[in-house]
Amino acid sequence: MSQQKVDQKKLDKKNRRSTLRKKKIEEVLSLAIVAVIGIAILGWVGYSVYTKVQDSASENATYEYYDIDTAAIQDYLSSLN
């Protein structure tokens, strides 16, 4: 082995802890980023489905209106005075 390779191995062995720590931090960060992106996509899809359901429910809703003749009640109330 050349002296350069020996020096490189010594340097790698010396910095092994910090290198492993950096790799672990990178893995955790990448997993956290993927989780945040996944949650954001899931929330967006859920919100989109919810709004579509609400829109279709409001379009299909039928309202029944009744006309009430209040003349009899008005006559009764005026006769009480």
Which residue segment(s) compose the domain that 41 sits in? 12-55
pLDDT at 34: 98
pLDDT in tens, the chain (81 residues): 789 999 898 888 888 999 999 999 999 999 999 999 999 999 999 999 999 999 888 887 777 888 888 899 898 999 987
**Does residue 22 sit within a domain?**
yes
**Does residue 28 sit within a domain?**
yes
| Burial tier of 38 (Cβ tally within 10 Å: 0-12, 13-18, 19+) | exposed
Q: Is the dihedral of CA 16, 17, 20, 22 positive or negative?
A: negative
**Does residue 66 sit within a domain?**
no
pLDDT at 13: 87
Residue 21 and residue 25: Cα distance in Å, rounded? 6
**Does residue 61 sit within a domain?**
no
**Does residue 24 sit within a domain?**
yes
User: pTM of the prediction?
Assistant: 0.56
Angle at 57 between CA 56 and CA 61, to 5 degrees: 120
Residue count of the chain, please give it.
81
**Does residue 34 sit within a domain?**
yes
For the chain, the domain total comes to 1
